[in-house]
Amino acid sequence: MATQIPERPGSFRDFVGAATGPLDGGADVSVTEFKYRYSAGQVANILWSAGVPDKAAAGALVHLRHLVGGRARAYTGEIPFERVFQVQFPERAGALRNFLEVLSPAWNVTLFHYRQTGNSTSYVLLGIQVPPEAASDFKRAQRKLREEFTFEEIEGQAREVFNMFIQ
């Protein structure tokens, strides 16, 4: 999840105290990951993950922990025609090569965040430039990959939060 806190002494402590309090069911929240870096301004943006009691609660959260890692650099600010996806990615030898053979020759990959989990699949955060006139070709490429890879585009409020940290 992404949260803004005041950039002042004690804010981090106050946030942790509030974030780890009990949920509606009375169980304490377990913070499982936290990303913060000092910000020269009034507010600091933080990314954090928390253990949740069930799948329904987890489904309501936006999983953004892999977004820390840098900002895009483009002369105009945002990268033109960039689309951002969460891709379910098989953890096996050759998967990345197969993936890029379909996508990379036609479109520029602008972001790729991955962390090995030891599971049969993991999630990759993928940024890719797809001009509007190439949208149907990109859909065909996704269909070609769908037996191994599942694409979910990050849009709306989740994309706004993404832009706070990466753009």
Q: What is the pLDDT of residues 25-41, one digit of tens each?
A: 555 556 666 666 666 67
The average confidence (pLDDT) of the chain is 75
Query: Is 144 contained in some domain?
Result: yes
Residue with tokens 């913060």: 36
Residue owning tokens 């890029």:
100
| Distance from chain centroid for Cα 129 | 17
Provide the domain limits for residue 147. Answer: 82-166
Residues facing 64 on adjacent strands: none
* Greatest mean pLDDT among 2-6, 21-25, 42-46, 119-123: 119-123
- Angstrom distance (rounded) from CA 159 to CA 156: 5
Domain for residue 69, yes or no?
no
Band of residue 76 on the pLDDT scale cut at 50, 70, 90: low
142 in any annotated domain? yes
pTM strictly above 0.95: no
Same domain, 48 and 90: no
Mean pLDDT in residue range 43-53: 74
Q: Is 74 a domain residue?
A: no
State whether 51 and 125 are in the same domain: no
In this structure, are 39 and 102 located in the same domain?
no
Q: What is the CATH number of the domain that holds 104?
A: 3.30.70.260
The per-residue pLDDT for 65 is 46
Please spell the DSSP secondary structure of 59-102, one letter per residue. Answer: HTS---GGG-S-----TTSSPTTEEEEEEEEE-STTHHHHHHHH
DSSP letter for 79, please.
P
Q: Give the separation between CA 103 and CA 133, rounded to whole angstroms.
A: 16
Whether the CB-CB separation of 109 and 130 falls below 8 Å is answered with no
Residues 90 and 157 in one domain: yes
Total domains in the fold of the chain: 2
Please give the structure tokens belonging to residue 34. 């936290």
* pLDDT of 67 above 50: no
Please report whether residue 75 resides in a domain.
no
Alpha-carbon span 50 to 58, nearest angstrom: 9
Residue that wins the pLDDT comparison between 54 and 92: 92
- Coil, helix or strand for 95? helix
53, 97: one domain: no
